[in-house]
Structure 1
């Protein structure tokens, strides 16, 4: 067994320096790799164990025998200075104490698109700004190109719903205030106790940030289309616009302040860059190394038999049976399954079965990865496209509340070969389209429903002229359903984004990055604070690194 934590020992004066602390991180997704870089910079010795055969987790990249490259998960990169922070770190120079945001971001009026990644980032990966951020296509065929530029936004609102121009000015002002308080000032706050939460409640009430996002948006816009334009983004982090708190209006400003970016070679290229940086700092990664359980004992190394008294994480046991001792264990895996499957029930007082199973999980996804011939007809599409169906509120209620498949659907269509032709064979496009669907609590049989929904989606894209003649031009087709998230990614109920970001599952009420149950056990990633989405996951890594440094009495400089 490993030694007791540093805080529990009192080394003698002039004692020989102890060895670096050893940390095991479960999962090589964005959160695990970002935290691994930060722990190596803190001077720890870190090993990441990953169940899959390569890095990325939800951001895994697949290469097909016929020459296509598909990012399996996230494709939207924002806040590039978060990446620059990671690529600048060096062993013994954790840089956790400095300002979290540049000084020039308050009051930003125009999106910044000039420098897509700092000098250290460019040593590892090429980021390219994407404009517009999204093309939002309505069911009647009209569309709104959202690029974060207020003047262009005003022009399009004037054409689409001129009665809402004044409302947009008020929305812009109020969303900016939420962004400055909720993201710039509170973004890195770890809500580990009730007092921290209570201190910010008055500000959130003053900003009207606790009502639902869709209700908040509806205050400013009469047009149903504009209500959709300024509320849909939470679906990209697993949130229902009808139920997430209005503090998520800050996403609008996060994107317009720093832009939306694409990593050339796909998100997989960014994942590989993070892995390279981690290895350069001395970190170890082991693939095909799923974790069976987290070893927990009492303070004296004895088995835990009841959820009271000292409980200490001592390492992990792999599915192969191999035991990896460690001083710290951090899970970048699914929050619910980390506790339900990998931490003994006798060691869980706060994150017990009742609490974990009662938490509402985000929706799931059906994602179709396809390749098609470029037959010379221009595609009236952008890199990122949001294709909205005829119903908005009713469809959201079916997905999140009723957990049923509706007669229609909305989708996010990603066509990266419009920016990066290298992801497909010459003369072809690679694309994926993502359809929000209920998680596994629905009881739907995806072996039956999956093929039927895929056929409906292809028919829609073809017959509506989104990609004319698609079914005849298809050269590659595969898809994943909630079964993939539940099985391959080991997400409880097949959720795609962790706990649903409701008001009662945010801040203090969201899973804590420092386990309340087991000393030396931490969480990072979409299931922890602050939440899902690539910028939030990188923020989560910095928050968890700060907690670890605090607990080990390490310098943040």
Structure 2
């Protein structure tokens, strides 16, 4: 008899989970509150513009290729997570996996260079492209005496963290304290438990270079002043596999995952908000048996996997009497990541956009450390701001009407634990950011060329995406919420209930939520006694058996 599964939420983690479950032999239904797929990666189309509403940075393309290589009843769970042909620093081009053969049947993925253009408040910039010599040249030009030597040491130490923390431990599910304790000596040896900003400051005197080599955790909800230095691995993740873009936007990748999922027999159900995860008692055991939707309909299943926000899952979808390890008190005590204001705007092109800006731009404000303290600690809306400006039409003009650009700019702000009233603050703040881009010369004349403007605030994350306190990335990735201390992918409270996505292990970010799906699939396979059969390894070209 075929087993059945329900996945709550169609974010990238939920879609990856659906693909994994179909490959495990489950008949899977993904239920989604919105009227289309994607969750945080939902797509907004308006006035001829296509806006990705969430993630736009694609890394580790062989994770994507692995998902598109899955087959019904052939889960590939025991194949190498990082086969030799994708591990070396020179493999980013040679591996040919930017758009691997199975990925390319569904979506076209292309590399982006530079990865980011990082602007400082004085107008100087750093192009991060992973090229060793170009990086060294810019370190020499922007840095202070000794910073080039510092970069060589940073590079070597970040490589060691990447090797141990990502290649060797990236897929480890820390389900018990013993697993965590066994890796603590390595983390201490690598100096990976101090804060990332402190770690970067060991190597660089220049404030600019300290920012260049620590800002990336903001793209996964982490404060560089408080995330552990294990996140220095991000530098090598990007350096090794590059930054990529799905033509048509991240939404094209989402649609491709849906197509693949349905080809494997999975079912999508939209406009289907979940009211409750149904739990029954069998003796002393509590077991998830399905879900109740907001319209009152009940869906039964052998397992339930939640890609919804971690705190929302436990606080809103599961009745308190079925929870102990994830009680209200424990869940509410977990610090949440910051939130975002994201502005989507379309404007007339004047042909100069590509002279100063690139596909991905980081525009840093006059303060770095104090602004981070305002956002994460004091939880106030500061007068200054930093932003990530994304202009995908520099790569793919099809996302806007002819002669126009589509863009979004993302500004980290406090989550709704701040008490800020975004109904009052939103519009003035958005106009301030757009005027900044105009008046500071990033997009001269923008206010006159603007033809579309819309935006989301922390209220969107809280009320539309059901994220606790309007967080944008789940529990904040501090040391006390990493590895074993991050919410687990298998519920401790309820049998046959699992979680996937940014809120659980290993954490936030597009590659991490795809890793999360594989980790959760392995736990399900273990719990249900599902083993790989001898299959052809389509991704790596070698037969394997388990």
The offset of 1:62, in angstroms, is: 1.0
The match for 1:78 among 59, 64, 67 is 59
The match for 1:359 among 317, 322, 334 is 334
The offset of 1:109, in angstroms, is: 6.0
The offset of 1:102, in angstroms, is: 2.1
Give me the whole-angstrom Cα distance separating, in 2, the residues matched to 1:113 and 1:335. 38
The offset of 1:113, in angstroms, is: 7.4
Contact 2:25 2:72 survives alignment (8 Å): yes
2:406 corresponds to 1:430:
yes
Give me the whole-angstrom Cα distance separating, in 2, the residues matched to 1:257 and 1:133. 12
Contact 2:214 2:232 survives alignment (8 Å): yes
The match for 2:16 among 34, 49, 56 is 34
Give me the whole-angstrom Cα distance separating, in 2, the residues matched to 1:552 and 1:483. 40
Give me the whole-angstrom Cα distance separating, in 2, the residues matched to 1:271 and 1:378. 28
The match for 2:441 among 448, 465, 477 is 465
Contact 1:109 1:150 survives alignment (8 Å): no
Give the structure-1-normalised TM-score: 0.94
The match for 2:181 among 157, 176, 198 is 198
What stretches of structure 2 of length at least 5 have no aligned partner?
A: 534-546
2:121 corresponds to 1:139:
yes
Per-residue deviation, residues 29-56 of structure 1 (Å, max 9, x unmatched):
1011101001101111100000000000
The equivalent of 1:342 in structure 2 is 317
CA RMSD of superposed structures (Å): 1.1
Contact 2:88 2:240 survives alignment (8 Å): no
Per-residue deviation, residues 95-153 of structure 1 (Å, max 9, x unmatched):
00110002145552685477312100000000010000000000000000000111110
The equivalent of 2:502 in structure 1 is 526
The offset of 1:458, in angstroms, is: 1.0
Contact 1:238 1:497 survives alignment (8 Å): yes
Q: 1:114 to 1:185 in 2, by over 3 A?
A: closer
2:297 corresponds to 1:316:
no
The equivalent of 2:536 in structure 1 is none
**2:367 match: secondary structure:** coil
Q: Which moved more, 1:325-334 or 1:154-163?
A: 154-163
Q: 1:152 to 1:317 in 2, by over 3 A?
A: same
Per-residue deviation, residues 203-243 of structure 1 (Å, max 9, x unmatched):
00000000000000000000000000000000000000000
Per-residue deviation, residues 406-461 of structure 1 (Å, max 9, x unmatched):
11000000000000000000000000000000000000000111111111101110
The equivalent of 1:121 in structure 2 is 103
Contact 2:35 2:270 survives alignment (8 Å): yes
Give me the whole-angstrom Cα distance separating, in 2, the residues matched to 1:38 and 1:313. 19
> Would you say how many aligned residue pairs link Structure 1 and Structure 2?
530
Contact 1:514 1:521 survives alignment (8 Å): yes
The match for 2:198 among 202, 215, 229 is 215
The match for 1:268 among 251, 272, 275 is 251
Contact 2:342 2:457 survives alignment (8 Å): yes
Give me the whole-angstrom Cα distance separating, in 2, the residues matched to 1:161 and 1:355. 44
Contact 1:293 1:318 survives alignment (8 Å): yes
Q: 1:110 to 1:219 in 2, by over 3 A?
A: farther
**2:326 match: secondary structure:** coil
The equivalent of 2:493 in structure 1 is 517
Contact 1:110 1:149 survives alignment (8 Å): no
The offset of 1:556, in angstroms, is: 3.1
The offset of 1:90, in angstroms, is: 0.5
The offset of 1:310, in angstroms, is: 1.3
Contact 2:85 2:95 survives alignment (8 Å): no
The equivalent of 2:242 in structure 1 is 259
**1:211-290 correspondence to structure 2 within 5 Å:** 211-290=194-273
The offset of 1:171, in angstroms, is: 0.2
Give me the whole-angstrom Cα distance separating, in 2, the residues matched to 1:495 and 1:378. 32
The equivalent of 1:292 in structure 2 is 275
Per-residue deviation, residues 65-104 of structure 1 (Å, max 9, x unmatched):
x100000000000000001101011111100011000214
The equivalent of 1:180 in structure 2 is 163
**1:475 match: secondary structure:** strand
Contact 1:412 1:433 survives alignment (8 Å): yes
Q: 1:21 to 1:453 in 2, by over 3 A?
A: same
**2:84 match: secondary structure:** coil
Contact 1:209 1:245 survives alignment (8 Å): yes
**1:368-387 correspondence to structure 2 within 5 Å:** 368-379=343-354, 380-387=356-363
